[in-house]
Amino acid sequence: MNRLLLLMAWIVAWGAAPALAEEGVPHARDLRQEAQIARANNAALLVVFVNKPCSYCDTVLNEFLLPLSRNPDYQRKVVMRRIETSSQRDLKDFTGRKTTHRAFARLHGIQMVPTVMLFDETGQALAKPLVGITTVDYYGLYLDEVIDTALARLRGEAPPAAGS
């Protein structure tokens, strides 16, 4: 009986993982509008490029971006959206033109997922993309560094020193 309950709990948790990620990092729909919301808050637009199935993408979404999306400090720094690199899901780009998630990812040369990019309201990249996840232990540090670099550039400040 205990094994059955444990199995049922695991199935529910496994099935809820995509819903949790969508809660914190919704799919991009209109990048121009989403970037304008970010700019109005003096924040950057963080776009994570993912694919299905991708355990590394799930790790970045559920262990890093979802908790950040719930943190008020990061809500003031970034607006987060997700783009699925193989999806034909409708998307409006930074100019308002209709495209798809897949076409937008190709336009930005995304070849490896997960990739995190930060943009200003015009669609200009604000920092070097964070590509892949080599180690969970340091990923949060690397993510903070690209966010801080993007915000400094967006706000016209000196970029932070690496590793600080």
- H or E, element range at 153: helix 136-154
* Interatomic CA distance for residues 34 and 27, integer angstroms: 11
| Mean pLDDT score of the chain | 88
pLDDT given for residue 4 in this prediction? 47
Q: What is the pLDDT of residues 3-34, one digit of tens each?
A: 544 444 445 455 444 444 456 799 999 999 99
| pLDDT computed for residue 17 by the predictor | 43
**pTM of the predicted protein model:** 0.83
Instruction: List, in order, residues 6 or more apart from 58 with CB less than 8 Å away.
Output: 17, 21
Residues in a beta bridge with 117: 47
pLDDT digits (tens, 9 = 90+) for 45-61: 999 999 999 999 999 99
pLDDT recorded at residue 79: 97
CA angle, residues 92, 49, 19, in degrees to nearest 5: 90
Residue 18 confidence (pLDDT): 46
CA–CA dist 98, 76 (Å, integer):
28
> How many residues belong to the chain?
164
Could you read off the pLDDT of 81-107 as tens digits, one per residue? 999 999 999 999 999 999 999 999 999
User: What is the C-alpha separation between 47 and 78, in angstroms, rounded?
Assistant: 10
